[in-house]
Amino acid sequence: MNSRCWAFAAMMGALGNALAALTVIPTMVQQVALDFSLLPAIIAGIYGGWALGGLTGFIAGILPSIWFGPLGSLGPLGITACIGKAIMGITVGLLSRAFKRWLDKRTWLYVPLVAVAFLPEAVWIYIVFAVMVPLFLPAAPAFLPGLWAPILLKGSFEVAVMGFFTAALAGHNGFKSQILSFLTPQTLPVKKT
């Protein structure tokens, strides 16, 4: 990855953390909250590939990791939010490359693509709560291992909303050209002497 990709990942990751702050904090109910921080990771995965999507997802997960980890009930397992968001960014990047030919012509296909890309992260969320919490946090509140169900339910809603946002953004030529112009190295004119 070149410096433009690192800068793009940092910028989109910061946007993801801002989206988390705007959505998580006001909607928090017992460790379950709306969180739209994945949208920048989805965009990065689609336009920059799986590595950029994963890196952006990991960075975008910093605030949710702190919020649900040290400030919430997950403690040191809070880092799992970063890992889950990275998994989603990687999956979106791989799927968008595999189906690029169809996605370019039918941007509405981003809705099911984003939904399918959530499946590996959903498995990760289940493993974290059903397996890792009882194993590594035996003194955790009794409700915590069962939180995977409401988290996956609200996550499915979030992913559906982000899928529609993604389809709308992918169909907008101005947005697409702006993102691609940032990720594509510019050729500088050569000065003749």
To 10 degrees, the CA torsion angle through 132, 133, 134, 137?
Answer: 120
Please check whether the domain covering 3-178 is classified as CATH 1.10.1760.20: yes
> What span, in angstroms and rounded, lies between the C-alpha atoms of 153 and 3?
38
Using the structure block, give the residue that is written with the tokens 């969320």: 125
Nearest alpha-carbon partner for 57 in 100, 167, 65, 175: 65
Give the model confidence (pLDDT) of 117-166 as tens digits: 999 999 999 999 999 999 999 888 888 888 899 889 989 999 999 999 99
The pTM assigned to this predicted structure is 0.88
> What span, in angstroms and rounded, lies between the C-alpha atoms of 175 and 21?
24
Give the model confidence (pLDDT) of 68-114 as tens digits: 888 888 888 989 999 999 999 999 999 999 999 888 889 999 999 99
